[in-house]
Chain A
Amino acid sequence: MHHEVLLPIAGCLLAAALWGVCASVFDMVLLPPPSAVAMAMVEQAFHGGLGEDAWASSGRVLAGVCFAFSLTSVLVLAAALWPPFERIVSGPIELTRPVPPIAWTPLAIMALGVGPGAAVAIVTVGAFFPLWLSVARGLREVRKVHILAARSLGAGHARLLADVILPSILPYALHGLRLSTGFGWFSVVAAEMMGAPSGLGRGIQMSSLNLDVTNLYAYILTTGIAGFACDRALFAVERSVSHWRGGKA
């Protein structure tokens, strides 16, 4: 238990130390010392736009993931009530899935303008696919014996949906939500770099245009930390909701 927390922290400290050593040995513009980056992060957080940008990006991830979740819920509900529906939608979904979300950015900007809307749309696209894949798999793994047991105890359609199908796919949905939030962070940064009034992606873009490498690192690190925090929070939810699995993953 302790090792699960302490060892990764030790790894981070080690990486930071290695980074510090490299920075002092090579002394390049591309590799500022970690202390300078940390200073920039604090400075930017309090006096610059880093806090606002992180906040803006988080909001877009949240909004995009919520849209993706709603869309998936509707599709899953339909597929649960009418199983062939899953196969039908899997056609168009499998054809669009290989397209990286960033490829939709020009369209999104043309449709929604340079604003938060386009970024949210891209996050929705990025977050939807992993969530749908995971939930659709969960739907296929709903065990027939549980359906039969429920039916022979008198369950109708609604009870079957609420007490058997949804609890069966819940672990898959939560796992999918975690994956899709990760994809959401990829997508939001990429989308903001292509044009947005605020956000971590825009900060990264601006820092690189200004050749402010220290700031660039500060933004990249912040993105990593924000994504990590989201992932841990969802992981905790996932674990607490799947407690009935009794240790089995």
Chain B
Amino acid sequence: MDWLAIDRLSAGHDGRIVIRDLSLSVPRECRILAVMGASGVGKSTLLSVMAGHLRPSQGSIRICGERVEEPSGSRPMVFQDHNLFPWKTVSGNIQFGLKCLGVPAWIRAERARELLDRMRLAGVAQCYPSQLSGGMRQRVGLARAMILRAPCLLLDEPFNALDTDVRELLQDELVRHVVETGTHAVLVTHDLAEAVYMADAVLVLRGGADFDLLPVSETPLPQRAAWRAGTMMADAVLRLRRAIAGAPGDGDTGHAEGSLRRPGARRVEPESV
């Protein structure tokens, strides 16, 4: 059974189509799906449609058996620029989702405290977002979505602009969350190592309907924590880079580290021959 099914989806902004006629499905075993692609290719647009924030001009999406019609707490979204509620404390922000579910205050506070500890935010529980650093805000944004233990998390570059150690901490916490709660996640990222470490498959958007769905690794998610120490990570990154380049083993690695190719540069289209 597939947890994510996209059927002939077209979507865009102000009448300008960004995603055209996209169809794909992702099986249950794939817990975390990374979405990659050049900037402006429509990663955030796709995520907004998944969240129900943007109506597709055509087609449909099913996530965890539920057709996406409007925003829902069953697929909370973590935004590229956090979008915390500035009038709520860190703890208040994190508890918001549970408040929407009508969870009593003392249980909410308890769950928030637990999560604050895990995310190393305990010291700032009563601070307002305006008093936090960018990295802290991002952590709050992540915790705010994680507390719901929803069937699917939608994450738009959640670890951007973080120091390496905080970044790794959060990656590990997110993996742990996914493993523990059995949730699925869509993770937009432009970091190959992150995709390799966290994702079971990578969706590479190349503009319009052109995409690749690449498997990342046979190693199950919980066991990948060991990768950080070893050389397997580097190998896997290299494999993914080759796969994205579209010609495995042809030695074409002459382009910049970690960057994905622009649409059109990959394949020789019949009409251009």
Contacts and interface: CB of A to CB of B under 8 A. Distances in A.
Contact of A159 (B87, B100, B130): B100
A59 to B, nearest CB: 33
Contacts of A246: 128, 130-131
Interface in A92-149: 143, 145-146, 148-149
B145 interface: yes
- Kindly name the residue among A143, A146, A164, A244 whose own CB sees the greatest number of chain B CB atoms within 10 A: A244
A150 interface: yes
Contacts of B144: 153
B76 interface: yes
Given A146-B85, A163-B99, A246-B131, A152 B52 contact: yes
Interface residues of A, number: 24
A145 B81 CA distance: 10
A244 B86 contact: yes
A164 B154 CA distance: 21
A154 B76 contact: yes
A51 interface: no
A148 B99 contact: no
Interface stretch (B67-75, B112-120, B192-200, B201-209): B67-75
Nearest to B96: A153
A143 to B, nearest CB: 8
Contacts of B76: 152-154
Nearest to B145: A153
Contacts of B75: 152
B130 A149 contact: no
Contacts of B100: 150, 153-156, 159
B85 A152 contact: no
A149 B77 contact: yes
B87 A244 contact: yes
Contact of A148 (B71, B101, B148): B71
A148 B48 CA distance: 10
A168 B88 CA distance: 11
Interface string A48-87: 0000000000000000000000000000000000000000
Contacts of A152: 51-53, 71-73, 75-77, 154
Nearest to B73: A154
B83 interface: yes
Interface string B139-155: 00000110010000010
Contact of B130 (A151, A170, A244): A244
Interface string A214-249: 000000000000000000000000000001111110
B55 to A, nearest CB: 13
Nearest to B50: A152
A164 B128 CA distance: 15
A167 interface: yes
Contacts of A154: 72-74, 76, 97, 100-101, 148
A161 to B, nearest CB: 12
Interface string B86-107: 1110000000110111000000
A115 B130 CA distance: 50
Interface in B10-38: none
Contacts of A244: 86-88, 128-130
19 contacts: A145-B83, A146-B83, A148-B71, A148-B77, A148-B79, A150-B85, A150-B100, A153-B73, A153-B76, A154-B72, A154-B74, A155-B73, A156-B100, A159-B100, A164-B85, A167-B87, A244-B88, A245-B130, A247-B130
The 6 closest A-B pairs by CB, nearest first: A154-B73, A246-B130, A151-B71, A154-B100, A153-B97, A167-B87
Given A154-B72, A154-B100, 8 more contacts: A145-B81, A150-B100, A152-B72, A153-B100, A155-B73, A167-B87, A243-B128, A246-B128
